[in-house]
Amino acid sequence: MFKPHNLILSSYSITDVGINRENNEDHCSGKDFSSGKVFTTNIFESVVLEDTIIQIIADGMGGCNAGEIASEFASHYIIQEMDENKDQIKGSSSIHFLMEGIMQKCHSKLTKRSHQDKSLEGMGTTLTAAIFKEDSLHISHVGDSRLYRFRDKQLKQLTEDQSPVGELQRSGYLSKEAARTHPDRHLIDQALGGGLPFINPQHKSVAIEHGDFILICTDGLTDSIPENQIQSILNGATPNNLKAISQSLVETALELDGSDNITLTLVYISG
């Protein structure tokens, strides 16, 4: 049976509290299940995709520090559960089935914790997970943090914003730019926790290939920078300047707005 050559994933993650926030409710983390290597912010990593690698971005919400707790808990919980059940990971259907169950359990745990502790009432988080295995990217997603693929100088959003404004855009009532600046753009229909009785995570799989860039980010980036400007910045991306490009994206977001926390992971695929 044909086995594809191992791809190499190079990545850089960065987060910034923004200019108006006191707390950073975003969280990003990842893990290479083959080597056990953990990915964190401000560290350039380059690893061979020998088994399964996960990268997660989460954007918390809730009073006091509840958003920080929710995003960190959800990220770590999902990575731990995936690691413990990695023997079940075969093809795309098994990954989607596994992630669906893990996200539903995570939602229940966050909901239960918010009911037990009044200071955490209403806490919740968006979450976008990128799972790399062989020559495919498997995406599991709740909320409005986004995942993009940048290929052949073209930026394509691979997730859908689970929000009223996102639905208006998909229905043709709003342009992308009007949606980006809409006063209700921060409202979301789906989150892990957040007081919602039910969640409906999105799952999809796409092929990845040499030369692809994958951008995972919170809305602190995408609300601040128009997509055509993100694409323009990524036009200058190379395998050797992921850190500089990531920093340029954050600095541009701060210059244009910066009212929210800004977090992103930029991944380059080679091999």
- DSSP states along 166-220: HHHHHTTSS-HHHHHT-TTTT--S--EETT-S----EEEEEE--TT-EEEEE-HH
H or E element, residue 247: helix 242-256
Question: Using CA atoms, how far apart are residues 153 and 168, in angstroms rounded to an integer?
Answer: 27
What beta strand segments (E) does the chain contain?
8-16, 26-32, 38-39, 45-48, 52-61, 124-133, 136-142, 146-151, 154-157, 192-193, 202-207, 213-217, 262-270
In this prediction, residue 88 carries a pLDDT of 85
pLDDT band at 2 (very low <50, low <70, confident <90, very high): very low
Please provide the average confidence, as pLDDT, over all residues in the chain.
92
Give the start-to-end residue ranges of the domains of the chain.
8-270
Of residues 254 and 64, which shows the higher confidence score?
Answer: 254
- Specify the range with the lowest mean pLDDT, choosing from 49-58, 134-143, 175-184: 175-184
- CA 34-40-44 angle, to 5 degrees, is 85
Q: pTM for the full model?
A: 0.94
**Region 192-199 average pLDDT:** 92
In this prediction, residue 75 carries a pLDDT of 98
Nearest-Å Rg of the Cα atoms of the chain is 17
Task: Determine phi and psi for 226, rounding to 5 degrees.
Answer: -60, 150
**Region 229-244 average pLDDT:** 96
Question: Using CA atoms, how far apart are residues 240 and 6, in angstroms rounded to an integer?
Answer: 20
Count of other CB atoms within 10 angstroms of residue 69: 23
Cα-based torsion angle of the residue sequence 209, 212, 218, 219 in order, rounded to the nearest 10 degrees: -120
In this prediction, residue 3 carries a pLDDT of 46
Which amino acid type is present at position 174? L
Domain at 8-270, CATH class: alpha beta
Q: What percent of the chain has pLDDT over 90?
A: 79
Query: pLDDT (tens digit, 9 = 90+) per residue, 57-116?
Result: 999 997 667 999 999 999 999 999 999 998 888 778 899 999 999 999 999 999 999 999
